[in-house]
Every structure is written in C-alpha cells, then in structure tokens.
Amino acid sequence: MAMAETSKNFIYEIIDEELAAGKHPSIVTRFPPEPNGYLHIGHAKSICLNHGIARDYQGRFHLRFDDTNPTKEDTEYVDSIKEDVAWLGADWGKNLFFASDYFEQLYQWALHLIDAGKAFVCELSAEEVREYRGTLKTPGRESPYRHRPVEENRRLFEAMRAGEFADGAKVLRAKIDMAHPNMNMRDPVLYRIQHAHHHRTGNAWCIYPMYDFAHGQSDAIEGITHSICTLEFEEHRPLYNWFIENLPVPHHPRQIEFARLNLTHTVMSKRKLLQLVKEGHVTGWDDPRMPTISGLRRRGYTPAAIREFCSRVGVAKRNNTIDLALLEFCLRQDLEALAPRRMAVLDPLKVTITNFPEGTVERFPGPNNPGDPAMGEREVPLTREIYIEREDFLEDPPKKFFRLAPGVEVRLRYACYITCTEVMKDAAGNITELRAAFDPESRGGGTPDNRRVKGTIHWVSATENVPLEVRLYENLFTVPDPDDVEEGRTFLDYINPASLTVVQAVGEPALRDAAPGERLQFERKGYFALDPDSRPERLVFNRSVDLRSSYKPE
C-alpha cells in the first residue's frame, strides 16, 4: 500500500535540526514494552513511529523489554509482544534487548551515585515515604536517613543485594530535592527489595531498579538517540536527564513525549482490557472485538492497514481521540485491492426459478476481483433453487428500492435476470419462499436488447453451497467515549449487547478453499476473514468490516 502523503511531525523536525547541527552520526530508536500484557492499537502507533523513524533515517530500531518488575511480568507476554511487533512489520533484526540484561550495570551505577553522595538507603516504610513526600501543593520533608555516611549507604545497599532484608524493609533513593515542585524529583526511589522470581534472571536478584532508574540508562547503554514516550512521562524528563547527567553513561539520549492514541467506541487501558477478558465480556485477548493487535489480526485486519492508520493519525502533543471510522477506512482501502470476491447469503430466503430445469447446474464465471483481472476468476453454480438475502426482497417496495419485488426484474450477479412472480407465506404472514422466472437470454448478466436492470443482488445455490457460521461484529461500546461515565456507572455499562451476532449462512462452493486467515469480500456484505475456530466441515468467518453504503432505507 502506498504511504499517504504526510508532512513531518514535530519529532522529525527535532531530528532534522539535530542532524543538521551534527549531533548524531545515526539515529537509534526503540519500542520499550513491559511484558505484562498484550499489545493494542495504541502500541501500534508507538511501534510505527519508532520503527518508521529508524527506517526513514536509515538508523536502527530496537525492541527492548522493560522488565524491571518481576511480580507482574512473564515470558508469555514477551512471546506475544514479539509476535505482534513482527506481524506489524517492525523488524528489530538482531536488536532484541531486555532491561534485565543491564541489571549489573545499573547496580554499579547505583553504587556510583552512593559514592558521589547522591543516593542513600532509606528505611522509611512505604506509607512514611508517601507522607514525607508532601503533596502537590506543599513541599516534602527530608528522610531521617538522608544524611547517612557514604560508607554506611554502600554497606547497606550491598546487604540489600545480598538478600539480608525483607521485602519493603529498605529502598535506595536518590538525593535530589524534597521541596522540588516536580514530585518526581523529591528523592525518588531507585531500588526496592523484591524476593521474587524474574522471568529471565531467575533468583539472581532480590533488588530491582525502578522504571526511572532503568529506562534512561538502558537507552544510554543501547545508544538510543531519541527515547520517544507518551505524555505522562513528560514530568519524568527532568529526572531522566538528572541520571544521565550524574552518571558516567556512554551516551546521552533525549526523551521526547507525544500524545498516545485514543479511539472512539473502545477502551485502551490495560486494566480495562484485562477486566473485559477476566469477566468474560469478550472471549479473550484476541477476541475480534478487542482493540488488541491479536484481536485486530483475528478480526481480519492487515498489518498494512494498521500501518496506514498509524501514519494517518499523526503525531502531536495534544490529547486526541481518533474516529474508529478512520481505522475501518484504512482496512477497506487495503482489502478493496487484495481481497478476492465471493458470494454468501447471511439471511437466506429461498427462491425457486420456475422455468429453470430441475436437477441441472449452470456454471458462470465470476472475476475474483472485477478491478483486477490478474486475480483470475472462479465459477459459481446456478440451480433451480437458490437463496437470496432476505433484505433484498420487499413485497411493497418504496420508490428507490433497487432490489427484488413482485413483478420486478433484477440481476443475479454474474448469472442472469430474474423476475419475481409469486410470494409464498406461512399462516402468520411471514414470507417463506419466492418464485421467479429467469430470462434465458440474460445468461451471463446481459441481454441482446440491452435493457437496463437497476438492481444486482448476490445469491447462492440452495443445493450447491457450503454452510457457514458468520460472526458479525459491531462496536464493543455503544458510546464514543466509554471512559466518560455517568455518576454511578462504569464503562461496562456501555458495552454493546449487539457487539457480536452469530448467523448461520450459506456461501458459494469456492469458499471451501478458503485458507486460514484468508481475507475475502462477500459481495455487498463486507470483508470477512476465516477464523481459527474454522473446521473443514464448519467454516467460520469473522466480519472484519462492512462495506460503506449510501443506501438509506426510507
């Protein structure tokens, strides 16, 4: 897919200026997930941004796991994150790293701060630390342990590492300024004691560095030039820089913040996504209704569509909420070109073509993509009995209903013209079946007299078909912003009860050959992808997105 014409965002401008000033021999970026959850479309924005910069400047892109909290992290997440990043097309090559790779170096740097009199071991409890920190409007107070001699701090910190203390008994803190207006600078915690098994370092450590102490230094070790993160880290930047300036790091990275992605009609926070899964509101992290990468993948989204979306949403510092319609637009645009067309009837209504010979089959060629002859064609079988979409027939149609109605002629796509001759109903008055007559001269979809037929509808043979389970998805939430809740309600109260509808449908025989994950267009109905739940005897399709429609029922 062609990249949309986009002007440079503010980060590119910063890089351009720095490059012009000769500040960097090359550009290095990174995507730094914590392996404690699944990636979502918001992460995709960050991945595309970071990977895109490295690509555009012929630099390097690193994937680095920020695994400094063993109690929350797991290799299961490492694996899923790697899969998702790779699927999106962000190739990290050999540059796969873990913050835990740097634990020893980080520890040495902590010692360096201690020796310089810039860090101390504090024995205040967590509650006391909070109390001493002050509030947003009032300065904090210094810890009574703040003025310990360097030697004592060193001995204590080494004892912390040696496992001589219980969890929470002591922490290592930076000595900065308890009256600083920026809370992050009020003697932040650098290390805490956690006798916990780490998914990579096992039991080698019982003290673990905090994010602030690990992140910037990890950037420095890897030679990251631009450490791009989201807005909430903006106030951490002074601390980020303080470490870089007070430690003998090999390199000075620069932190730049941008606004994270928000999407209408969904939620993006890990906590809420986890709650949806845990409480069974969705079937899992990869439920096609989820904004997770795995959910979008299962839904039928393509990496190209997501990349295009990320390039279109732009990068800036103001909070934003992107219309879900843009994501859908990007998918349609991609699939329009590459998805083979098929016919499937989601809500079947039987039609008997009374003048069509019984027991015979006529096969008509249908292009796999009318816009791209190179994609070839398949044959669709026409028989005396067929199914059409129930909504494509109206007994008493309004003026601009270009579909089937009594006495009205329509084209069966790729096949022939039929005219409805009779409507059959049950005792309750429900339409049970239609009878129609076809024009033998219209075979192939046109007639010698070139008469115009306004409507073309899709159809499937009632005898030559494959049964399908089709899962129709709609927005997971009924409101654009489920995070904006009324008094006394939660985001769960806005879950769309119609977010999933399962229908038993019928499809043309060619559907039998659908490959796992294959994306198809069911003509006039939308784009669909074969679900992993699919079995040869029971094909399951997910509706990825419907087709735009300018048809407005009266």
At a CB cut-off of 8 Å and minimum separation 6, what does 352 contact?
A: 384, 385, 433, 434, 435, 436
Nearer to RNA, 264 or 496 (CB): 264
315 binds RNA (CB under 7 A): yes
Nearer to RNA, 116 or 316 (CB): 316
Residue 158 three-state SS: helix
SS (H, E, C) 452-479: CCCCEECEEECCCCEEEEEEEECCCECC
Which part of the chain contacts RNA (CB under 7 A), choosing from 75-83, 277-285, 310-318, 533-541? 310-318
Nearer to RNA, 287 or 343 (CB): 343
Q: Is 270 a catalytic residue?
A: yes
Q: Is 377 a catalytic residue?
A: no
166 binds RNA (CB under 7 A): no
Residue 353 three-state SS: strand
Q: What DSSP character marks residue 193?
A: E
DSSP 204-263: S-SEEE-HHHHHHHHHHHHT-SEEEEEGGGGGGHHHHHHHHHHS--S---EEEEEPPP-B
Q: Which of 103, 205, 208, 473 contacts RNA by CB under 7 A?
A: 208
547 binds RNA (CB under 7 A): yes
Q: Which of 336, 433, 439, 518 contacts RNA by CB under 7 A?
A: 336
Amino acid symbol at 480: P
- List the catalytic residue out of 34, 158, 234, 474: 34
Amino acid symbol at 531: D
* Structure-block tokens of residue 388: 């059409």
* Structure-block tokens of residue 422: 């009779």
Distance CA 544, CA 288 (A): 8
177 binds RNA (CB under 7 A): no
406 binds RNA (CB under 7 A): no
Which part of the chain contacts RNA (CB under 7 A), choosing from 75-83, 407-415, 430-438, 459-467? 407-415
Nearer to RNA, 146 or 283 (CB): 146
Q: Is 34 a catalytic residue?
A: yes
Distance CA 515, CA 530 (A): 7
Question: What mask of x and - would describe binding to RNA in positions 9 to 48, judged by CB under 7 A?
Answer: xx--x------------------x-x--------------
Q: How far is the CB of 453 from RNA (least distance, A)?
A: 7
135 binds RNA (CB under 7 A): yes
Q: Which of 86, 162, 231, 361 contacts RNA by CB under 7 A?
A: 231
Half-sphere exposure of 26 (CA within 13 A, CB side): 11
Q: How far is the CB of 358 from RNA (least distance, A)?
A: 24
Question: What mask of x and - would describe binding to RNA in positions 55 to 84, judged by CB under 7 A?
Answer: -----------x-xx--x------------
* Structure-block tokens of residue 468: 């399908």
Instruction: Give the pairing type, strands 456-457 and 254-258.
Output: unpaired
478 binds RNA (CB under 7 A): no
